[in-house]
Amino acid sequence: MEEKEALVIAEFRKRRNRQLLASVPMIVALIFLFMLKDMGASAFPAWIPEQLILPVCLGVVGIGVIFTLGNWKCPVCKRYLGKSFAPRYCQKCGAQLQE
């Protein structure tokens, strides 16, 4: 494997790890949104102000989407990698992303 390919694979690994970390709060926020929809504010502890649940959850999801649009790009062509979490190659430029 060439040095350039190794650098691309290493950069993709970093981006995928960042994406994994960013996914956790987004998933938690989505779960809270579904809980709020199904059970209302009574599903949450009383110390959490009811009027904060929806805006905070939507904010976390919105920030996560913005982060994803900036992070989840091919290290070579800088185009969005799509919905796949483990692409082996970039669908746009064909760069190898994983060994």
**Among 88, 30, 21, CA closest to 59:** 30
Distance CA 27, CA 17 (A): 16
Per-residue pLDDT of the chain (99 residues; tens, 9 = 90+): 699 999 999 999 999 999 999 999 999 999 988 887 778 777 777 777 778 888 999 999 999 999 999 999 999 999 999 999 899 999 999 999 998
Report angle CA 80, 33, 67 to the nearest 5 degrees: 25
CB contact set of 77 (below 8 Å; sequence gap of 6+): 90, 92, 93, 95
pTM (2 decimals)? 0.83
